[in-house]
Chain A
Amino acid sequence: MTGVLLPPPETGAMGGRAETPPAPSRAVLAQDWRRLVRLGAVGAFAQVFIALSNMPVRLDERVVVKPVLSLGYLTLLVVPFAAGYRVGHQIKREGMPVYAAGAHEVAGGAACGALAGGGLSLLAVLLANFDLREPLVNWSPMLAELLAFGNATWFAVVVWLLIGAAIGAVGGILRTLGPRTRRAAVTMALAVAGAAVMEPLVVDLAEGMRLEALTDRLYARRGGVNWTSALGLAAGSGVLAVLGRGRIRQARAHIASLEGAKRNRANSGLIVLTGAALIILPLFAGKLTNELLANVGLFVLLALGLNVVVGLAGILDLGYVAFFAVGSYSAAVLTAATSPRINPELPWLVALIAVVIITGLVGLFIGAPVIRMRGDYLAIVTLGFGEIIRLLFLSDWLSGWFGGSQGITKIPGAGIFGLTSVAGTDPRRVFYLVLAFCAIAIYVSWRLERSRLGRAWTAVREDETVAEAMGINTVNVKLLAFVVGAILGSFSGAIFSAKVGSVFPNSFLILVSIVILVVVIFGGMGSIVGVIAGSAVLIGVLGGPKQPGLLAEFSEFKLLIYGALLIWMMLARPEGLIPSVRRSRELHQEEMAQDAWLRGQVEDDDGSGAQAAPTP
């Protein structure tokens, strides 16, 4: 093992000190050992943590690839893989790798993975010999069985070391692949994983399109991709990836390079296509898919609203759920016959106008004192207001109006011009309604961003003092962002109450605010496409605060995964999944300035001065 971690002979023995790039010194590689042990230890700790959180046992029921891999076991393979991949991280000098990746990466990955897997070996021994139930209450007794694959403890010890080493080596091998092969490998893995994750969706859609024959072949009867189809899928996608060879990327670069009118045409073409797909798809989809789409849509709507506040104007609002709550409750009071104090039983669309006005006023009322604060203070105060609103709905004092903890029930569906009524019993209609409002929200964000107001928001976010000095009334402008965000949130609330048919104070916990914020940050602050993608991934796959996602089994561990994802995102890609141009500029100013300099787009001071020599 020692040998393989040393530099490969060519570079190590080169010796010529004047040569560039310089051969790595022993000191640099000695650090590799330290890093390996450190990463391995962290990995082992993470493995034990995951095992004790009971995730493996709980998720064991969901089969990914039949019969070899369940979601439970998958959770135990992620860490060794990541550790094995990570440890092969190349030392670079001035952007150039010091030496080519090779056998030492694979061996290092295996060693690191084995260390991480060793965490589970240790855990198996501990579980067999000590009673850990007392302080660690989460794990279930089935864990020991799961770790040992039903065999004796020594089996678990050996097997997890081996599995860790193997998976870590795979991570290391990924390092040694050329970019093309690596892309193919990643595509293959993603294809299988995607097929497994999307299983409920695909089955549901296939039923609607009468393509059961296809899904019967792809998926096992009790769930999970058949291993034969998994292989086929991997092979197929691998071939496609090799043939495609980054065509997608090329196409995207091509669209990005288009000018003015052409680019607009390409963009509107894309939008029309996506819109058409979203309108046609639900016709074939069953209840489950439509329910999922509707839930995602509600969160898209909320996230778009928060995006105006946080992403465009830079106001960190931690109590955004307040507007969702006010929207829901005011719609409920205005439409439900059972509402305690007043029940005008307005048609939904008419009520919506009142809801918008009410929420706008509440936004103004909360915003006015809050908006003058900056940074952390503002965040804390909005957090407080979010809770206050919920507690008001819960309070005895207002229970004559809002029913206290009993909430308001039997809310009628949303009637549209007396044509149809949209209620939760028909998720397809709910989805169409949500889709319409998402379209409105997207349009609003898009138009506002490209207006005088949007520019002022950006300026305020960049430097509030200077914005003020340049003649922008920062208080008004920020308040307006707050109100626009509130109104967009109230749409979501009004649909929510009609969909669910009842509202309770505990639907509006602070958790909802946090989840929406996570969606916005994860997707990419200030980016409309990013926010939609963020909702699709987080809410669609993992699920919302109370709504199940595609991986419904995750519900218990949702917050854990949210947190882990958020941390990873902040480290690896702080601008989010699909960032806005400006946001990535903010975070990568230096690199971008450097790139611009390399392209010759930045003149140095002397140069520009000399060029435009005296013109008296």
Chain B
Amino acid sequence: MTATNGNGLAPGADAANGTGRRPLLETRGLSVDFGGLHALDGLDFEVHEGEIVSVIGPNGAGKTTLFNAITATVERSAGDILFEGTSLLGLDPNRVTARGIARTFQNVRLFANMTVLENVMVSQHCRTRQHAFGALFYTPSFRREEAEIRRRAEKVLGFFGSRLVGYRFDQPAFTLSYANRRRLEIARAMATQPKLILLDEPVAGMNPVESAELTGMIGRLRDEWGFAIVVIEHQMDVVREVSDRVVVLDHGTKIAEGDYADVSTDPRVIEAYLGQGTETS
């Protein structure tokens, strides 16, 4: 338990979070099949409020599939997913988001032709009410809500410093640099006002400086905004830096769980990575 926790949260606090209360998100025996392939195989996984959990594992381990199953983008074949104690089964993806789970995509998927600001504004859809009537008659409540949507969008974008503000507001998303696209994806997830954010390889393709910066931001997301966070990550220094707890997947099952120091020395984890090849280390 000597791993430096960049967020200044005492390791003991995690443990208290972890055991006592009901988890924020919990999967029970979650399985996803693609044809004959068990992408996820009876996975038990949980996230507590205010916790940052890293999910690691070799390529094809089923990490992204876990996110897809939670957000209802893929069909699960068995098991249950509980969020705040109630099941998410049978909900459409947009209902899951409305319940408070937001995500980013491994292969960045922005609304490329919408502006930076619009990307974040449209993501507040499930938190806002105004319909055609308000827009047509330009009612006071419509105007108030539009102003509020815009204010919140600017606030969320402001989180990334000067990166996505000012003249960038009105630039189409496709003109952004790769790192900024990843930031905008996170901003979009934040704008849905979630309780839990799922980040799929948030620093992939970033240079070391940027990735160190974003690592700090993931901590701030929890500390300042109060989100619980699940991060899929291949870069071990990032994992060590951010995680309260690390879950290792291989072939759709959990092979290890614990804090970074324990997991990184676990022989089964080492074997999973070595058996797969060394390119992911």
Contact = CB atoms under 8 A, between A and B. Distances in A.
Interface in B131-168: 131-132, 134-136, 138, 142, 145-146, 149, 161-163, 167
A609 B103 contact: no
Nearest to A613: B209
B203 to A, nearest CB: 11
Interface of A: 443-444, 447-448, 450-456, 458-459, 462-463, 465-474, 480, 484, 582, 585-586, 589, 592-593, 596, 601-606, 608-610, 612-616
B196 to A, nearest CB: 14
7 contacts: A444-B136, A462-B113, A467-B111, A468-B94, A471-B125, A602-B175, A608-B163
B142 A466 contact: no
Given A447-B136, A459-B111, A469 B93 contact: yes
B179 A470 contact: no
Interface stretch (B12-20, B32-40, B210-218, B271-279): B210-218
Interface residues of B, number: 58
B32 to A, nearest CB: 17
Nearest to A583: B113
B130 A451 contact: yes
Given A456-B125, A474-B94, A614 B212 contact: yes
A589 B123 CA distance: 22
Interface string B197-240: 00000000111011011001000000000000000000000000
A605 B97 contact: no
Contact of B136 (A448, A604, A613): A448
A453 B163 contact: no
A470 B125 contact: yes
A455 B122 contact: yes
Contacts of A459: 111, 114, 122, 125
A585 B172 contact: yes
Contact of B111 (A447, A458, A602): A458
Nearest to B176: A602
Interface string B254-272: 0000000000000000000
Contacts of B118: 455, 458
B135 A448 contact: yes
B128 interface: yes
Contacts of B163: 608, 612
Contacts of A601: 167, 171, 175
Given A452-B131, A470-B125, 8 more contacts: A447-B135, A448-B136, A451-B134, A451-B135, A462-B111, A466-B109, A469-B103, A602-B175
Contact of A605 (B127, B177, B212): B177
A469 B71 contact: yes
A450 B188 CA distance: 19
A596 B111 contact: no
A470 B192 contact: yes
B86 interface: no
Contact of B209 (A443, A480, A610): A610
B152 to A, nearest CB: 13
